[in-house]
Structure 1
């Protein structure tokens, strides 16, 4: 996010440090217009097994109605 803010506002690192640190040199949480972004590190990642063709979809659920069993209204 820091790089994005630097490009967006044409800031140098000195400007970023001046804006986002307090007098003691501690960093504030980065925010833009009052919107604070969450830390990506705190988001849990859950993996799942690849299922491929076993994922149900509306076209394979009803096997009774196929092209052979449906009669065309036009003769």
Structure 2
């Protein structure tokens, strides 16, 4: 998003720093028109778990007893 806004507004890195730096010297999240960029670090990642035979097989017939 920062790269896109730099091209759109013809900003230099100095302008980006002025836009995103807070008064204490830290960095704020990129934002535009009141919409803040999503914090991807807040999302937990669930890895794939091996399921082996628990995955249903579409070619086996269903037992309608």
Shared topology, TM-score over 0.5?
yes
Task: Return structure 1 stretches of 4+ with deviation > 6 angstroms.
Answer: none
Higher percent of residues as helix: 2
CA RMSD after TM alignment: 3.1
Task: Name which one, 1 or 2, has greater alpha-carbon Rg.
Answer: 1
Question: Normalised by the size of structure 1, how large is the TM-score?
Answer: 0.52
* CA–CA separation in structure 1 for the residues paired with 2:6 and 2:39: 19
Q: Secondary structure at 2:27's aligned position in 1?
A: coil
**Larger RCO: 1 or 2 (CA < 8 Å, sep 6+):** 2
Question: Normalised by the size of structure 2, how large is the TM-score?
Answer: 0.57
Unaligned segments of structure 2, at least 5 residues:
none
